[in-house]
Amino acid sequence: MSGYWFCETAQGEFRIAMTRWAGRDRVVLFYEREPLGCFDSAETALDRLIHGETYKPSCGLDLRRLALPTRLSDWVFAADTHA
């Protein structure tokens, strides 16, 4: 299955997107189209985001202060219809 999870906040959109990187299936975490890290799974990406263990957005937003859903099932999944 390909697609991405997203979460809209008052500060902007977060996205966890599956991709192919260097010949491997990977997951990239984005904040407003800015990549914050590349991970082996969507669950790892979310865990790192929740614990403030990603790159920081260039706008300076403190990710640890956001009330983001901590379970991937609480994010919205959008299937890639082009796959």
- Name the band, by pLDDT with cuts 50, 70 and 90, for residue 37: very high
> Count of alpha carbons within 13 Å of 54, Cβ hemisphere only?
29
Task: Look at residue 24 in the predicted model and tell me its pLDDT.
Answer: 86
| Contact predicate 31/37, CB 8 Å | no
Give the mean pLDDT of 9-23. Answer: 89
Predicted TM-score (pTM) of the model is 0.88
Count up the domains in the chain and report the number: 1
**Residue range(s) defining the domain that contains residue 64:** 3-79
